[in-house]
Structure 1
Amino acid sequence: MKTCGRVFFHNARRLAAHKFTFTEVRYLSAQPKAESNIEVGSLSEIQMSVAKHLNLKTHLPSPLSKQMDTLGELVTLIRDPMMEIASCMRVVDKTLPALRLVLWGAFGTGKTVTLNQAVHHAYTNNWVIVHLRSAMDLTRRVKEIEMSSFVPGRINDPSNAVAVLQNFKQQNQHVWKTLGELFTERDYEWSKSERTAQGKPITEIIEMGITAPFLASDCVGALFRELRRHAKDGKLKALVAVDDANSLWGKTLVKRADRTYAPPSDLTLVVHFRRLIANDWTNGCVLMVADKKEVADARDELGVSRHTPLELFGEEGFEFVEPFLPIETTNYTESETNTLYDYYVRKNWLASKSARTEEGRKQLMHLSAFNPYYYERLCAFN
């Protein structure tokens, strides 16, 4: 398995841009591995109460959410990418810039599942979690808009802003008391009648945005600003997990007053998330997924799918997220499919007699071409 240090050396050019010294690189690679209850190739169960707490039913891929409902439990396979992420999270320190990781790989190889496993790992280690289900929600699934009163030309998105704050509140109940003991650095004047004074708990910003949707977009920005500041001070560690992160530099379906499509840089929430994934703060980890949904054409049956970070983020996005550590998700190995097959047999997920034979086991492997998504779908219908 790759170690954090090896990936750092592999990306020496990016490290130079990041202003890491070789002493810091040696420090990262020499860190002892902390004890962990996760092991490559093993099945890990997330308690249903925790899954509900982290809102995983909404954030996981639809087939896995349905499987969770049917089996009454959430069990996932621990693979190399997750171990790599856990290894990197262990070396996060308030003296080093936020570590940025990009999950990339072909369709169905487990990028979103790995992202959610990392969110659970952050939860078990009492990190603050900022988890965006999909960056496309901010650019393509916008129900209502209003113009910002703070920045001319900036477009607010009240409904998505409230959803971000509500999700943050739900996922961070395990550290809510700690967040309530962290105070604002300055006064925030939301409107003529609404304000949050300096020295107030930052949880008041969250409550303000949830109860007043027309202020929610600005509350998201203030919350992210305070989280970055407190992380720098060593008062918290934060995981920023963004699925379909390349969509922050993609197309939008939001129209200006002149009926032209607004670029992502005009959307308030996109700007706030871009600032959050920048590496100008410390004591945090930014985990992004590069997914081809942003650029793929479902009607193109002949084109070769693009899934590398450079192709998916584009020149502007790639320059913004550099330096980062690329972590590729791949197809299953034979031992991984065997582990899942045995689990499906035990849980009676495989219903047909032919599928529960040795010949059926081999056919499922090869018909799916060891692709995690297709393997699960074949098992669900056999």
Structure 2
Amino acid sequence: MKMIRNRLAVQLQRHVLPKSMSTNAAAAAAPAEASAISEFRTAVTNPGEHSALQVAKFYTIPAEQKKQIFAGGGLPKQYEQQIKTFTEACLMVRNPALEVLDYIKKADLSKPVVRYVLYGENGTGKTLTMAHVLHYGAVNDFLLVHVPWAPNWMKRPKEASNAAGQEGMIDLPFDAAAWLVHFKGQNSKLLQRLELKTSKEYVWSKRESTPAGSTLLELVEHGIARIKYASETTAALISEIKLLSTAGKCKVMVAIDGFNAFFHPVTRIFSDNKQRVTPDKITLTHPFLNITSYDWTNGVCILSVDKIAMTEGHMDSYMPRYLLGTEGFEHLDPFVPIHVENYSDKEFHSYINYYLDRHWINKTPKGFEEQLKFMSNKNPYSLMQLVRAL
């Protein structure tokens, strides 16, 4: 089997344009048929208008919206590289995203918040499904509370230190400040328009405080400017958002990729006694567990669980019950599971047509598409890896 795959890989490389190929040479490659273009693209760029008619078709996220929503993360690195190469941010409309969007549109937001959990094998597109839903939230005036990849805090924090005044707790001040910058970038225009205010005074030290009635932007800017208090500011911000949302002052979309990282037995962060700390000892964990509980209204939670979100070890199953463990499962129960699967034949064919249209691969000879299908098993990430630049 390995020899067959290697042979097919060699054949495949003959039809993928090399990285050194010039723009002019790429433009000279045979264009895809016009009929194929109509099959894999849609002019409907508003995710709220997507339906079964657009399934397996690519839509383009306007550059300004892409910058607003994803400047701080939320798209896979290789996908970001593809966006730079093709000078457009295209997402495929897929059924899991449409299912979540349909639930959100029909939801009664006056009821306790509903949690939607994306799950599936590695590389099936959970992150891009979340990106599609985030785009909907941004253009429909949801306040976004988005964590692009929670495992980064548990595996490779920028800096870890003992939390002041919280014995046994570990603070991640630079990660908290980076998240506040991301939150501000996604929501600054909406926050300015809504003029949301804090409900109480927050005292940070003998000389520093944020008075009651301050805007949420002022609260956020304090945490960014005073990194020492970034984690405390994040906790205060999340608490205020829940109160404001429940009071009907705003509607909130929580999106956390790799949510099960909050429930792994250990992190890669060490305490003073050289012992690995558990996620519940990280100050950043608690605000995001707080906002994913069901004790508030006027919001939705879209969470993903992933095998690679775990700190270490081989995960035997991608099912939510297995990845969340007892504590995580009980925290979310009840939730709505959304299974993200490999490409269907129609989606796979659309993907190939997109690369033909971008002149990234040459016009395929007979059997070429079947070779790609066999080698990738129609897994989105595996397919992207196979057709990457040599």
In the superposition, the TM-score normalised over structure 2's length comes to: 0.83
Give yes or no for the alignment of 1:235 onto 2:243.
no
Give yes or no for the alignment of 1:324 onto 2:339.
no
Aligned partners of 1:93 and 1:282 also within 8 Å: no
Residue 370 of structure 1 corresponds to which residue in structure 2?
378
1:337 is aligned, of 348, 365, 382, to 348
Aligned partners of 1:137 and 1:160 also within 8 Å: no
2:215 is aligned, of 201, 217, 222, to 201
Residue 224 of structure 1 corresponds to which residue in structure 2?
238
Alpha-carbon distance change, 169 to 295 in structure 1, aligned in 2, over 3 angstroms: closer
Give yes or no for the alignment of 1:258 onto 2:273.
yes
1:53 is aligned, of 58, 68, 85, to 68
The alpha carbon displacement at 1:224 in A equals 0.4
Secondary structure of the 1:268 match is: coil
Residue 149 of structure 1 corresponds to which residue in structure 2?
164
After TM superposition, list the pairs within 5 Å mapping 1:16-95 onto structure 2. 36-38=49-51, 39-55=54-70, 58-95=73-110
1:347 is aligned, of 338, 354, 358, to 358
Alpha-carbon distance change, 35 to 315 in structure 1, aligned in 2, over 3 angstroms: closer
Residue 357 of structure 1 corresponds to which residue in structure 2?
365
1:116 is aligned, of 120, 123, 131, to 131
Which piece of structure 1 moves more, 53-62 or 367-376? Answer: 53-62
Residue 16 of structure 2 corresponds to which residue in structure 1?
none
Residue 248 of structure 1 corresponds to which residue in structure 2?
262
Alpha-carbon distance change, 202 to 173 in structure 1, aligned in 2, over 3 angstroms: closer
The Cα offsets for residues 33-74 of structure 1, whole Å up to 9 and x where unpaired, read as x96145322211111221111125732112211110100001
Aligned partners of 1:101 and 1:286 also within 8 Å: yes
Alpha-carbon distance change, 76 to 269 in structure 1, aligned in 2, over 3 angstroms: same
1:277 is aligned, of 292, 295, 300, to 292
In the superposition, the TM-score normalised over structure 1's length comes to: 0.85
Secondary structure of the 1:90 match is: helix
Mapped partners of 1:255, 1:261: distance in 2: 4
Mapped partners of 1:204, 1:329: distance in 2: 39
Alpha-carbon distance change, 222 to 312 in structure 1, aligned in 2, over 3 angstroms: same
Secondary structure of the 2:106 match is: coil
Aligned amino acid, residue 281 of structure 1: W
Aligned amino acid, residue 316 of structure 2: S
Alpha-carbon distance change, 156 to 296 in structure 1, aligned in 2, over 3 angstroms: closer
Residue 198 of structure 2 corresponds to which residue in structure 1?
184
Give yes or no for the alignment of 1:99 onto 2:110.
no
Aligned amino acid, residue 356 of structure 2: V
Aligned partners of 2:263 and 2:279 also within 8 Å: yes
The alpha carbon displacement at 1:120 in A equals 0.8
Mapped partners of 1:277, 1:214: distance in 2: 25
Give yes or no for the alignment of 1:166 onto 2:174.
no
The alpha carbon displacement at 1:359 in A equals 2.2
Aligned partners of 1:92 and 1:98 also within 8 Å: no
Residue 129 of structure 1 corresponds to which residue in structure 2?
144
Residue 32 of structure 2 corresponds to which residue in structure 1?
none
Mapped partners of 1:120, 1:149: distance in 2: 37
Mapped partners of 2:366, 2:58: distance in 1: 21
Aligned partners of 1:53 and 1:171 also within 8 Å: yes
Mapped partners of 1:140, 1:63: distance in 2: 20
Alpha-carbon distance change, 174 to 44 in structure 1, aligned in 2, over 3 angstroms: farther
Mapped partners of 2:192, 2:255: distance in 1: 22
The Cα offsets for residues 7-55 of structure 1, whole Å up to 9 and x where unpaired, read as xxxxxxxxxxxxxxxxxxxxxxxxxxx9614532221111122111112
The alpha carbon displacement at 1:294 in A equals 3.6
Mapped partners of 1:232, 1:165: distance in 2: 22
Aligned partners of 2:188 and 2:217 also within 8 Å: no
Mapped partners of 1:260, 1:119: distance in 2: 37
Mapped partners of 2:233, 2:311: distance in 1: 33
Aligned partners of 1:56 and 1:116 also within 8 Å: no
Which piece of structure 1 moves more, 67-76 or 92-101? Answer: 92-101
Secondary structure of the 1:58 match is: coil
The Cα offsets for residues 280-338 of structure 1, whole Å up to 9 and x where unpaired, read as 1111111111000144867x6xxx73210011111111111111100000011111111
Aligned partners of 1:86 and 1:118 also within 8 Å: yes
Aligned partners of 2:151 and 2:310 also within 8 Å: no
Aligned amino acid, residue 344 of structure 1: Y
Aligned amino acid, residue 129 of structure 1: L
Query: How many matched pairs?
Result: 341
Mapped partners of 1:236, 1:289: distance in 2: 24
